[in-house]
Amino acid sequence: MGKVCSFIALAMILALANSFLGNARDPDILKDFLIPTGLDPSNITSQFFTYTGFRELVNVNTTGKTAAIETKASMKEFPALEGQAVSIAALTYPPSGINPPHVHPRAAELLIVLQGVLEVGANAGTVSLPNTVFASGISAEILAKAFKTDLETISKLIAANNITKAA
């Protein structure tokens, strides 16, 4: 009986120690905000929560541009985001601009189009790149521009994906 109690006690101690040592997770997103190191909390005013970096987008000129103009607000530019597990970016696309296929591991993306049309292809959750890109309905011309390749190569990839899909 003594050996069993000792074994149970040891197992409980190891389980408890493991719960403290193996604690890897994202920051608590339920906090309103975190005060950056070195900032006196009594000095926090409404200005701490005000970001003006997007005001320059009002008169942005995309003439002659081929790539999107990115303006971002991450913790570096906007310290009030610390602990929020969020960042924001404004992308101004020139006419016929391309948003290259990409992923955001462990994150989501919200697109708001203020003027014009933006053609995208995305599925939430697990993303299979061939299905998501080459069976998405995005035109071959746009994919060729995005991947910086020719239309023939993209057409072959679309055709190969359709064969896989039918099997």
Domain layout of the chain by residue ranges: 27-97
Are residues 121 and 133 in contact, defined by beta-carbon separation less than 8 angstroms? yes
- Summarize the confidence of residues 74-103 as an average pLDDT: 82
- Mean pLDDT score of the chain: 77
Write out the H or E segment, with its range, that includes residue 29.
none
Q: What is the pLDDT of residue 17?
A: 59
Q: What is the pLDDT of residue 151?
A: 93
**Rounded CA gap, 167 and 154, in Å?**
20
Q: What is the pLDDT of residue 152?
A: 93
Buried b / exposed e along 81-105 (16+ C-beta atoms within 10 A): bbbeeeeeebebbbeebbbebeeee
Contacts of 79 (CB under 8 A, 6+ apart): 36, 39, 48
The token duo for 2 is 């003594």
Pick the more confident residue, 53 or 20: 53
